Structure 1
Amino acid sequence: MEALLVLTDSERSQLTERLETVEVSPYEDYLAFSDRVSKLVIDGGVPERLLRAADRIREERSSGVSEAHVLRNCPVDEDLPDIGNEDPSAEKKSRKVTFIGEAFLELLAQITRTPLLSYANRFGGDFFIDVVAINKYLGQQTGYNGGEVVFHNDRTAHPVRADYITLLGMRCPPDDLVYTGFVAGRRLLAELSAETQQVLREPYFVTPFDVVSRDANTELDSTPSHPILSGVSSLRYLDTHTTAADDAPVEAKDALLALKNALTRVPKQRHRMQQGDVLTFANQSALHNREQIEVQDPTRALGRWLLKTYAFSDQAAADTHRDAWIDGIPGKVGD
């Protein structure tokens, strides 16, 4: 994907200096951390070109021109600790003493006006999540499996889902060809007949909870039947896992097969994440995956580290879930 903005080295250095002043840990006091970042915005500490890029992201999302955007040469912590693959989240919080990457993602969320979302039972309720291979999930269907991931929406089976996902490249082996793929929902629907789309709008389908969610919350069991398609182009789909419910009519299975075929045919966007890259894209109205085209060193590849945030489309979308806030923290929900 072509970058919407490549920060100059001077812009990145100046912004990094400002972000370094945010010394509050987002893992200990997210609200204070967020407030400190907002003061940088108010005080004029954001490059004008970045503000214009944020405006364009909002405009292109609203108009449907684009649901995926890339920024390059963004601020990343200079000294990144080794967080391993046993419990990367815990290792990060015990070893990482600067929060440049987190502050930049918070800043980007604020200037695009997309409030962040976190899950209380997932990685301690953190708003900044590490996409790193975790030993116990290797080879399983999750983003923490150290390998490829099929096309999906994040948190497919959950009642509160992010409208947008943002990834920041923290540590990316430069010689590996690993791509994040993206398919906009509207493009996928263009491959489907009106009759098929109508069947996909019925609650004939089921998607199991992912293994990470089940480990975090043992009360999660079966999921209710749901439509795959809702709204204009909102999807609820996990390839190879979303199936027709046992009592669904035969046309549901036909529609599911048509969707799978369309997903194979539809043109896709791909981006190879490098350190300092930001990829921000729609979650509900699109599908994304991970492809490993060529990996030079499988052991080194396990250290690939992206920092991720979930976000609502705007404050109004966040406010619809205000009754679900945990610990009085806006954006923090249960499972």
Structure 2
Amino acid sequence: MHHPLRPDFLGLLCLRQDHDGIAATRVASVREAEALLTEEQRQVLRSPRFQSAYPTSFARNIPGPRPTAGPHPVLFGREGQSFMRFNSHNTTAADAEGKAALEALSAALETVCRDIVLDRGDLVLVDNHIAAHGRSSFTPRYDGADRWLRRCYSLRATPRWAEHMMHGQRVVPELAQISGVF
């Protein structure tokens, strides 16, 4: 996610599993994947040369093209204790070296990925600064009884600047109000 108020945690609650019981939530740690990258790839990913388009679910009420965040690094923090700002569908690089580093990161995350098959009532919590998440493929039937996960986000604390822009106690400012802040 690339909203200026990136959540610290993502929760996925399984309300209903797919018909065949095969759909998995996929989770991968950058701290495990980082060891599979070369020093050069890690340095490229630590440079502020990447752009991230906001996911469509966060930008559907904004006219025009989806806003982007960046330039920003994909990896930051101490080596071996890295944090990540990456979405395989929305993070891009303008140069060949950056594109190659993103491909290497995607491959490393795939290598360390764990699949978790959730049943009704199961909840998975993901540290949004360390782990990437996704899902495996499955064939929906579009019969009203397909897989259904409920997504929720959590912040450890709301920044003071954002509190002053909030219209309600638990309502973060609209994206249009804060785009360009970072």
TM-score computed with the length of structure 1 as normaliser: 0.46
Counterpart of 2:153 (choices 298, 303, 310) is 310
Structure of larger gyration radius: 1
Relative distance call for 1:193 and 1:276 in structure 2 (3 A) is same
Which residue does the alignment assign to 2:83? 234
Q: Whole-Å Cα distance in 1 between the matches of residues 52 and 6 of structure 2?
A: 14
Contact 1:185 1:286 in 2 (8 A): yes
Secondary structure (helix, strand or coil) at the match of 1:292 reads: coil
Relative distance call for 1:184 and 1:263 in structure 2 (3 A) is closer
Contact 2:23 2:136 in 1 (8 A): yes
Counterpart of 1:260 (choices 82, 87, 106) is 106
Relative distance call for 1:167 and 1:240 in structure 2 (3 A) is closer
Where does structure 1 lack aligned partners over 5 or more consecutive residues?
A: 1-154
Q: Which has the higher contact order (CA 8 A, sep 6+)?
A: 2
Q: Matches of residues 78-97 of structure 1 in structure 2 within 5 Å? A: none
Q: Which moved more, 1:324-333 or 1:273-282?
A: 324-333
Which residue does the alignment assign to 2:40? 195
Counterpart of 1:322 (choices 125, 147, 160) is 160
Contact 1:324 1:334 in 2 (8 A): no
Instruction: Give the structure with the larger helix fraction.
Output: 1
TM-score computed with the length of structure 2 as normaliser: 0.79
Relative distance call for 1:303 and 1:254 in structure 2 (3 A) is closer
Aligned length, in residue pairs: 169
Q: Whole-Å Cα distance in 1 between the matches of residues 29 and 58 of structure 2?
A: 25
Identity %: 30
Q: Matches of residues 105-254 of structure 1 in structure 2 within 5 Å? A: 155=1, 157-218=2-63, 220-231=66-77, 232-245=81-94, 248=95, 250-254=96-100
Q: Whole-Å Cα distance in 2 between the matches of residues 185 and 263 of structure 1?
A: 7
Letter in 1 for 2:92: T
Q: Whole-Å Cα distance in 2 between the matches of residues 221 and 185 of structure 1?
A: 25
**Cα deviation digits, residues 270-307 of structure 1 (max 9, x gap):** 111211111112112110111124x4x61237643222
Contact 1:201 1:230 in 2 (8 A): yes
Where does structure 2 lack aligned partners over 5 or more consecutive residues?
A: 176-182
Contact 1:235 1:286 in 2 (8 A): yes
Letter in 1 for 2:105: L
1:240 offset after TM fit, Å?
4.3
Contact 2:29 2:109 in 1 (8 A): no
Query: What's the RMSD between the two structures over aligned residues?
Result: 2.4
**Cα deviation digits, residues 293-332 of structure 1 (max 9, x gap):** 4x4x6123764322221112x3xxx14x132131241463
The runs of at least 4 consecutive aligned structure 1 residues that moved more than 6 Å come to none
1:207 offset after TM fit, Å?
1.8
Instruction: Give the structure with the larger strand fraction.
Output: 2
Which residue does the alignment assign to 1:146? none
Relative distance call for 1:300 and 1:207 in structure 2 (3 A) is same
